[in-house]
Amino acid sequence: MNGYGYYSDHFLESLGSGNGSRLLFTASCDTSSDVMYSAWCVSSNNLFGCIGLKHGAHSVLNVAMSQQEYEALVPKIIDHMISTGEW
């Protein structure tokens, strides 16, 4: 589901987000890409579980980290969520 979704692709359960790509379970994440389980993040990329970031990158729960740390941590979180039925 997508709110207005202009210039957008690969959204899943996203509401009020536009001009973005690869958004999963988000709300109002404009001009962003590769964002999951986040809300009100603008002009950001590679976020998981973040709220209210502007120009954020490689962050989990609003904690910024290196690209390598982010790429190692997010799959572990997703695997845990799958094992508990949350994903």
pLDDT tens string for the chain (87 positions)?
Answer: 444 555 665 565 566 666 776 787 888 888 888 999 999 999 999 999 999 999 999 999 999 999 999 999 999 999 999 999 988
Residue-level pLDDT at 23? 81
Unique residue bearing structure tokens 């962003």:
32
The reported pTM is 0.84
Maximum alpha-carbon separation in the chain: 34
In whole angstroms, give the CA distance from residue 30 to residue 18.
Answer: 5
Displacement of CA 20 from its chain's centroid (Å):
10
